[in-house]
Chain A
Amino acid sequence: MLETRFHSIALYSVFFRHARVRKYGAELQRCRLDAVPVDLGDYHPLKPITVTDSRSRRGGRKGSTSSSSSSSSSVAPDPLSSMLEGTDPLSLFAAASASETPTLSHSSSSVELGRKRRENEEEVGADFEPWSAKRGEILARFTTTEKLSINLFMGSDKNKASSPSSAVSEKVRTRLEELDDLEEGSQRELLNLSQQDYVNRIEELNQSLKEAWSSDQKVKALKIVIQCSKLLSDTSVIQFYPSKFVLITDILDTFGRLVYERIWSMCSDPRPIPDSFSVEDVNDTAKETCLNWFFKIASIRELIPRLYVEAAILKCNRFLNKTGIQETLPRLTAMIRGIGDPLVAVYARAYLCRVGMEVAPHLKDSLNKNFFDLLASFRQIHGDTVQNQLVIQRVEIPVYLTLYSPAIHWILQCVAYRAPDVLLTEMMERCKKLGNNALLLNSVMWAFRPEFVAARATDFIGMIKDCDEAGFPKHLLFGSLGRSLACADPPESERLPILNEAWKVITKVRSPQDYINCAEIWVEFTCRHFTKREVNTVLADIIKHMTPDRAFEDAYPQLQSVMKKILTYFHNFSVLFSMEKFLPFLDMFQKDSVRVEVCKSIMEVFIKHQQEPTRDPVILNALLHVCKTMHDSVNALTVEDEKRSLALLINGFIRMVSFGRDFEQQLSFCVEARATFCNLEPVIIQLIHTVNQLAMETRRVMGGSHSRKTAAFVRACAAYSFITIPSLTSIFSRLHLYLLSGQVALANQCLSQADAFLKAAVSVLPEVPRTISVEGKQRSSEAFLLDFINSFLSTLLVVPDHPEQGVLYLVRGLLNMVQDYTWEDNSDAKVRVYISALPLLAAMSQESYLYTIPKVDSNETLYGGDPKFVAEISRLCETLIGQVLDHLKTLGREEGVRRQGSLAFSLFSTLLAHGDLRNNKLNQLAVNLWNLSHKNGHCDTRTSVRTLEHIKQQAQQPELSHLSDMLLRLSLQSRA
């Protein structure tokens, strides 16, 4: 039928087309490039470009950064490391910015180095956790639902302040009191604010401070700051106090910065003064202004605003004299003793320490003094005044005590920063003397170096046991200890007792939330130092605590963190899954989203750390379960990216499964996996690839000749692929897999299976849509289709004809499909397929084929160069050429001359390469095509010239000498 169809087409002209006889071996020999020894010193574009550091070593900054040259030096210095010579670039820059001129020079003199080192000691390093890190945490932790109030006392003190003097002149009075009043006579009290309102109000104040400052209303700005810091003496709604402190100290910081910058800018009149200026650089006006600020602040009536505002502008002391800061800090420290409320006092100390660390981190004494003062006034916390207040506000003691934590942590952190062990020991002793106060102990463990704490872990446990609870829960203490031990290791011999002691307490914690918070911390310690046995015990305990009343539902973040820690320390999955309690623990994640999240993290670790393929049934079962969980989470609403990432993880798992020589087991695993992961297309594709690989592996093991058993097995593999491929939705995946599986089947001598695959591929072809979506964009599928057909054609060379079907059954089938396919309008794709089929047909007519598959007889052997077969091929060629010529003709009529030219040229090239041009008619056709392609001047002259050169070269071979005659007839069209 096919044949008749091709014949029925009226032939434009009848050519007897002969394929040129090819000797592939000889051609290959000729084509092979001369081996040229590679000179290693030569320039090569792919060689790593080496940037030689051409900076002048001394001048640091002046060297041009753009000067780079490729050099052939054998050891290429890394430009970054050579520039900075091993020092951490960040810290170096930090140090450099402190000194006036940043020097990156290698040969800085020893004096300079010494100076830098000294500066480093004075600087706060990167290992000091800055306040900004704590800020957010405090704001998030200390919240309230109660109503708050802001009372900006506008001159409410007037009566008291001026009581003795009714006759004070108006002028003096206003001068004194304008410091207290924001706007004369206006008293604002904002009541019933929600926490958010309160935060907004404070932010408004911050804004109005900046506005007042920029509009040169310095007195108003000061008033705002004073009023704000006054709010810090108010401890109503005490749970909110730490957050209030954070908000208000932000304003103070702004103020301090504004004042400092203004005075600094006053000194920079002729030229800016360096950051490391000395008192002599400051001019009189600036000094006077600065002094004025200090006098104004010294006359603030109330203690707390005076303290805070002076602390805020502490840095400005640098303008006045050298020793200002170191005299002021102790004075302010002592001043805090005047604050009666212990909470207000401790936060004032925290602020002072913070400012002190910023401005003069080398002044450790006042930090220590702050801490000792804190200890001295510690009993205030349990005083009557505080207790009464708590009763009124209905705040529990444990809650109240935790309000202290951020401030005490901060103070201790400042004190402990780079402090010698001796000092820390002394601090500890002092804390002990105070009756082992739990609150203090907690902060000590938080703030002191983990190494310090870890070395004395046993002591600490003793102290925790001894200390009177005083309302501060012990599990928090153990939590803090655990946090230190997670970062630093206690002595080896003490580890187990420590864990036992700690867990004894932790397991007694009643509230599941408290329990899990504490347990989560200790899991890290356990994982770090102990084996799976201990971890298993811990997990069992966690399960026991969290299961009743489904307590785990409220603790997913902590449980996730436990999982994460375990995965960080246990990379051996056979150990991990042999923990009895691991899977039950996994079962606690019952909320779908969390569960999938946890499964993903497990798989990520597995893929990252599993080196060897595995067949361990424990691992496989468990991971299959995990992957199934991930897979089952996919539904109609799952986004594409999520699916992709899940598929990626599952694929990673599948790749890691290997049963070694037990191929059947492997196949049955793939069967099982296919059933399990049917919703994720990439996984199915991966499975097909795995099975194909399995077949090829079998072939390799058998050395190419299958036994009866293995032959059956590879057929089973083919069957697997064959029934799996149709379930894919992506048409191109299907096509490529059919082709690939066909090739694999062919390689394994499964001829009928290969035939079936290829037939299936051909039958799917008409379904290919005209456009497909690539990365979310609609694009024409033509290019993809052409690619596929070309690779399909090249496979067809080795596929033997089916004995029951006609000659070239598959080729004809493909060409028919191509003819029936609805190509895009105005597209030459069909004709291009015809042209690319010609080389295949030419190759098929050779006596021995370009390539064959071992143990598979191709058509060359089947037909043995039978003239009928060759004639059949020739007829097919004729038909194809006829089709192409027809198409060329239609193009000539229309606007498609350019396309006509290029098609004609490609047909010419094909004829030239594969046709036997000794045949006159063919020769004439080639010449005509050449002329046609050049007729309209649309061809690329350079390609034409190259083609002519090629022909000339070919013509030198004796068997191709006829080409030289043709060459004479091919003329280059000169461009007008």
Chain B
Amino acid sequence: MSVALDLRLKRANKVYHEGEVLAGVVVITSKEAVQHQGISLTMEGLVNLQLSSKSVGVFEAFYNSVKPIQLISSNIEVAKPGKVPGGKTEIPFEFPLQAKGNKMLYETYHGVFVNIQYTLRCDMRRPLLAKDLSKTCEFMLHCQPQKSKVQPTPVDFTITPETLQNVKERTSLPKFVIRGHLDATNCVITQPLTGELVVESSEVAIKSIELQLVRVETCGCAEGYARDATEIQNIQIAEGDVCHGLPIPIYMVFPRLFTCPTLETTNFKVEFEVNVVIVLHDDHLITENFPLKLCRV
């Protein structure tokens, strides 16, 4: 006797906004009638914060994780104890997506030290000798579009040995001139990061040029706060000794889930940066950092 429990959301992309209604159906499929002691649905939105071992030490990191912040939570009973007939049974449900109290629903974000996640869980309690059934599905929340207009704020940059910081022996550096621009540092999250880059000259052949997307997460807690930068993805835009003087496009799509509009709350912050990394053939690594501000329109 096998019973399958499934959750199906109405929207294929599972993306919802605050104030909307999360709708879908619980699907129970079974060959025979199923005896149960109640079916319930739980919807929950949580912010999980974790302290980095770098800032607070291994043990504290392990024990002292900050309490999760609940953004939304509700629970309804779908069916009273009884029997579900055999075959396929669909039970529709709806949840209003309304934040608790004066909180707001942050956008779904999967990070390293900060995780914002919305889940929907369905439980079917069953009598003795039968395992309770449970099914969880995650849905995405996108925050409301920003009202104010986004200024693109383009940035021009030039990288030469002279513009570099953190150089130990400036004399051993090969000569190079790399110019470029980013079309915007105030980026719309659904639009790619674009720009151009020209290798005007380089004494040493170039091995690779990459775009490194970095998240900067800050968690506040009793002892102060921890700020950590980690890589999200690294996209190569040039391989080998590229043609000098020919503009190379800078293009990167912001990955879903791993990025969200730049977020600043009392307890935590999520920010993003992009590094243009130039690797020379003698393994010199040149990095130029640009803070980004992501938003949704």
Contact = CB atoms under 8 A, between A and B. Distances in A.
B247 A339 contact: no
B158 interface: no
A338 B248 contact: yes
A13 to B, nearest CB: 100
B240 A339 contact: yes
Contact of B233 (A299, A335, A337, A376): A299
A377 interface: yes
Nearest to A176: B233
A303 B238 contact: yes
Interface in A380-405: 380, 383-385
A162 B234 CA distance: 10
Interface stretch (B86-94, B175-183, B251-259): B251-259
Contacts of A167: 52-54, 112, 228, 230
Interface string B257-285: 01000000000000000000000000000
B291 interface: no
Contacts, number: 110
A298 B256 CA distance: 11
A331 B205 CA distance: 25
Interface string B180-198: 0000000000000000000
Contact of B12 (A287, A306, A334): A287
Contact of A334 (B52, B249, B256): B249
Contacts of B230: 164-165, 167-168
B102 to A, nearest CB: 31
A329 to B, nearest CB: 13
A384 to B, nearest CB: 8
B132 interface: no
Chief secondary structure at chain A's binding surface: helix
Contacts of B214: 164
A303 B13 CA distance: 28
Contacts of B252: 298
B274 to A, nearest CB: 14
B246 A298 contact: no
Interface size class of A (residues with CB under 8 A): 35 or more
Contact of B240 (A162, A176, A385): A385
Contact of A233 (B11, B209, B239, B253): B239
A112 interface: no
A165 to B, nearest CB: 4
B241 A337 contact: no
Most chain A beta-carbon neighbours within 10 Å: one of B232, B243, B249? B243
B45 to A, nearest CB: 19
A285 B13 CA distance: 7
Contacts of A344: 240
Contacts of B143: none
B253 A385 contact: no
A287 B53 CA distance: 41
A176 B233 CA distance: 8
A843 B229 CA distance: 123
Contacts of B293: none
A382 to B, nearest CB: 12
A233 B237 CA distance: 14
A304 B239 contact: yes
B235 interface: yes
A955 B231 CA distance: 121
Contacts of A301: 233-236
B234 A161 contact: yes
Given A164-B231, A303-B237, A338 B242 contact: yes
B204 to A, nearest CB: 11
Given A164-B230, A331-B249, A303 B112 contact: no
A340 B240 contact: yes
Most chain B beta-carbon neighbours within 10 Å: one of A172, A233, A288? A172
B110 A172 contact: yes
B7 interface: no
B256 A295 contact: yes
B52 A338 contact: no
A169 interface: yes
B206 interface: yes
A298 B213 CA distance: 13
Contacts of B248: 334, 337-338
Contacts of A373: 246
B251 A335 contact: yes
A341 interface: yes
Interface string B118-132: 000000000000000
Nearest to B231: A164
A284 interface: yes
A176 B256 CA distance: 12
Most chain B beta-carbon neighbours within 10 Å: one of A295, A299, A376? A299
Given A299-B253, A334-B249, A380 B13 contact: no
A162 B231 contact: yes
Contacts of B241: 340-341, 380, 383, 385
A339 B243 CA distance: 8
Contacts of A377: 243, 246
Most chain A beta-carbon neighbours within 10 Å: one of B205, B232, B235, B239? B239
A164 B17 CA distance: 34
Interface in A165-179: 165, 167-169, 172, 176
A287 B236 CA distance: 27
Contacts of A168: 112, 230
Nearest to B239: A303
Contact of B13 (A284, A304, A384): A284
Given A165-B230, A301-B233, A338 B255 contact: no
A956 to B, nearest CB: 96
Nearest to B237: A338
A303 B248 CA distance: 12
B249 A340 contact: no
B243 A376 contact: yes
Interface in B56-113: 110, 112
Given A337-B249, A338-B242, A340-B241, A165 B112 contact: yes
B12 A284 contact: yes
A338 B12 contact: no
A302 interface: yes
B77 to A, nearest CB: 30
Nearest to A344: B240
B249 A335 contact: yes
A709 interface: no
A950 interface: no
Interface string B4-47: 00000001110000000000000000000000000000000000
A385 B241 CA distance: 7
Given A168-B230, A379-B243, A385-B241, A298 B12 contact: no
Nearest to A333: B249
Most chain B beta-carbon neighbours within 10 Å: one of A164, A233, A284, A288? A164
Contact of B249 (A172, A338, A376, A380): A338
A380 B236 contact: no
A287 B12 CA distance: 9
Contacts of B236: 301-303, 306, 338
A266 to B, nearest CB: 10
Contacts of A376: 243, 246
A489 B110 CA distance: 68
Contact of A295 (B11, B237, B253): B253
B253 A298 contact: yes
Contacts of B229: 164
Given A164-B231, A303-B236, A337 B13 contact: no
4 A-B pairs with least C-beta separation: A340-B240, A284-B12, A338-B238, A298-B253
Given A172-B110, A285-B12, 16 more contacts: A165-B230, A167-B112, A167-B230, A169-B112, A298-B252, A299-B235, A331-B249, A331-B251, A334-B249, A337-B249, A338-B238, A338-B248, A340-B241, A341-B240, A341-B241, A373-B246
18 contacts: A161-B231, A164-B229, A172-B258, A284-B13, A295-B256, A299-B253, A299-B255, A301-B235, A302-B239, A306-B235, A337-B238, A337-B243, A338-B209, A339-B238, A340-B243, A341-B241, A376-B246, A385-B241
